[in-house]
Structure 1
């Protein structure tokens, strides 16, 4: 996708709308008023913030451009602030490595736009080109690798695509004395578009996780997980398949809808370590989360000590 013709503003890039090939409008503005009548297009034109895909300002006389895009800034809907900070572990040479808190999404999507790692870091560190190399889901905390130079994205993304990154996770889940560890769990995971949860289905495995038991106390245990693949909700599903659903999981074994603004009882899953050979220097790099999980009932995960 070509670069947007409007710059990042307050951590957010512009939106774009494609003009249909068979559109009947005579001008760009006529199309926009018909397609999105609730927007203040006059104000955007006056501010010079309505442009075509070449960065040329659109005014009331700009002819309709079939199959082309028009770009503009859109103010996202209000969001409840996530009251936990993103902690920077490393920042140099085009790399930013952070310790993501629970409840904060990685990238803008759906209902989570400003309250995301990407938007916060772009804004707070003044790094408009920052993007994550991989993703952690909103409820998972831990180490997240980002680049700030577009030229560096591909080499680091390929590390993950080619499974050349050693990823170590920790989880708190029920203790299963009848299950032997360490063990490798393999299954076929299927995620339907538009559905929140994934399922394990019959067929050739497309996911693999090595699981170790670190310690246990009473009916709880700390597990160390080494995912070889990166399927949606893989670690949650694999522990759940052993009868040990992760503490605080709203999805497995049963879906539970969390009330907006409920930042209590986080999912006890942490991306503890990322380790890899740097694709540019060959140097071995390792980054470790400084967060802790609530192992014993009553323990407070470290997320509460890094509030914004």
Structure 2
């Protein structure tokens, strides 16, 4: 049994979904976790409020309370790839996340995520991710170190003042001439079925990406991708909408059956650059991962 040494946090919603206790809400919020598991966690003192006081099975639901709990999984896979710290000061840390490593705990991953690895490596328990990358995507992630300045850096992402650049590799048809071609992709992306996938629908556009081919061989092309908006799976959906699904994508264009990770065939998507004006110094910041995706 793997048990996280760091608590996960949730805030109870403003609108009560029709429950009397926090326990009942947890059953609705996490439908795949058995009631007996939550009952055991509560009885073992593994669920508490922000002030450290423990929940009981009878603790009443009160909107906007913060609840902390410790995630557990039977068998946690070990991801055989290393992270790398590119930059660190008193406010932020920039790290490279390898393919297959989650940014924060989720699913079958408790301790084996970038945030927990970095907390253990640096000894900074206040380290907190400011944004997310899909587990199967590699690249740069920014973390807040100082809780007192965290809101300033969160605001960069909330108000779209972060410029992100990605790379992706896709198969192409022989003899296609794509280098320097650029696509402005604007469309509406909504949740599909199953709900962890996304689809393009009719209606007002809510997603925007700029995609450019920067290198190609007879079989594959390397694309530079700039997301203007930040919808879930946006770049993966936009690439497949152009007829260039990202190499080794198990969701798009067709959802593949659930299977173990194939470490020899990672999704060919890399979060390569972050640019922004630092909210404290007002100076431009530019962080770039030195590696590139490779073409056959």
- Work out whether the TM-score is over 0.5: yes
**Residues 11 and 128 in structure 1, CA contact (< 8 A), matched pair in contact too:** no
Please give the alpha-carbon distance, in whole angstroms, between the structure 1 residues aligned to 2:212 and 2:48: 54
Instruction: Please list, as runs of the form range in 1=range in 2, the aligned pairs for 1:87-102 lying within 5 A after superposition.
Output: 87-102=84-99
1:203 match:
203
Structure 1 residues 278 and 256, CA, compared in 2 at 3 Å: closer, same or farther? same
Residue 164 of structure 1 pairs with residue 161 of structure 2: yes
1:261 shift after superposition: 4.5
Structure 2: give runs of 5+ residues left out of the alignment. Answer: 13-18, 23-34
1:135 match:
132
Instruction: Please list, as runs of the form range in 1=range in 2, the aligned pairs for 1:87-236 lying within 5 A after superposition.
Output: 87-175=84-172, 177=176, 181-192=181-192, 195-236=195-236
2:26 match:
none
1:54 shift after superposition: 3.8
1:39 match:
40
1:103 shift after superposition: 0.5
2:270 match:
270
- TM-score, length basis structure 1: 0.77
1:250 match:
250
1:275 shift after superposition: 0.6
2:28 match:
none
Count of aligned pairs: 270
**Partner of 1:183: helix, strand, or coil?**
strand
**Residues 10 and 123 in structure 1, CA contact (< 8 A), matched pair in contact too:** no
* Structure 1 residues 12-47: Cα deviation after superposition (integer angstroms, max 9, x where no partner): 2167999x6369xxxxxxxxxx955873877x46xx
Please give the alpha-carbon distance, in whole angstroms, between the structure 1 residues aligned to 2:133 and 2:256: 20
1:111 shift after superposition: 2.0
1:149 shift after superposition: 1.6
- Cα RMSD (Å) of the superposition? 3.0
1:66 shift after superposition: 2.9
Instruction: Please list, as runs of the form range in 1=range in 2, the aligned pairs for 1:11-50 lying within 5 A after superposition.
Output: 11-13=5-7, 21=20, 36=37, 39=40, 44=44
Structure 1 residues 56 and 273, CA, compared in 2 at 3 Å: closer, same or farther? closer
Structure 1 residues 15 and 207, CA, compared in 2 at 3 Å: closer, same or farther? closer
* Structure 1 residues 115-167: Cα deviation after superposition (integer angstroms, max 9, x where no partner): 21112112222121111111111111001100012222211121122221111
Structure 1: give runs of 5+ residues left out of the alignment. Answer: 1-8, 24-33, 297-308
Structure 1 residues 158 and 193, CA, compared in 2 at 3 Å: closer, same or farther? farther
2:31 match:
none
Please give the alpha-carbon distance, in whole angstroms, between the structure 1 residues aligned to 2:41 and 2:212: 56
Please give the alpha-carbon distance, in whole angstroms, between the structure 2 residues aligned to 1:72 and 1:183: 45
- TM-score, length basis structure 2: 0.80
**Residues 106 and 135 in structure 1, CA contact (< 8 A), matched pair in contact too:** yes
**Partner of 2:73: helix, strand, or coil?**
coil
Please give the alpha-carbon distance, in whole angstroms, between the structure 2 residues aligned to 1:40 and 1:151: 31
